Amino acid sequence: MMKTHAAVLAMAVLLVTLLLPALAPRPALAFYCGGNLVQVGDSIETLYGSCGAPTFKLTPRTTGGEVWFYNQGSSQFQTKITIFAGKIIAIEEGDYGYGSSNPSSQ
């Protein structure tokens, strides 16, 4: 009986270990916005020119960077852009967006 319980527990731990990364945001090197490809290394001006104003913006005091979020509507994934020193340093894909997209990113 103890061996069965240990085996079930081991399988549960293995399953959680395998599924947990699937629940995390997916990093990306680029995404399409306003018909333009935006990628890591692009300037903040390129990002704004392609996508317009973000849906939401964070400016953490401790990092000196910014984090821009774009909602591209319920049929697209939300996108999180991390900016440091005026350049895109990370792009992450989130869950599906909501409602209609940013008016400026059409």
The domain in which residue 99 lies consists of: 26-105
Rounded distance between C-alpha atoms, residue 85 and residue 37, angstroms: 20
Residue 66: give its domain's CATH number: 3.30.1450
Bigger pLDDT: 44 or 60? 44
CB within 8 A of 28, min separation 6: which ones? 79, 91, 92, 93
Rounded distance between C-alpha atoms, residue 43 and residue 83, angstroms: 9
pLDDT, tens digit (0-9, with 9 covering 90-100), for 37-57: 999 999 999 999 999 999 999
Q: What pTM value is reported for the model?
A: 0.66
**Does the residue 77 lie in any domain?**
yes
pLDDT, tens digit (0-9, with 9 covering 90-100), for 63-96: 789 999 999 888 888 899 999 999 999 999 888 8
pLDDT of residue 75: 84
Contact between 75 and 100 under an 8 Å Cβ cutoff? The reply is no
Rounded distance between C-alpha atoms, residue 41 and residue 84, angstroms: 10
pLDDT of residue 106: 45
The count of domains in the chain is: 1
| Paired tokens of 91 | 């792009």
**Does the residue 34 lie in any domain?**
yes
Q: CA-CA-CA-CA torsion for 74, 55, 31, 51, nearest 10 degrees? A: 120
Contact between 89 and 65 under an 8 Å Cβ cutoff? The reply is yes
**Does the residue 20 lie in any domain?**
no
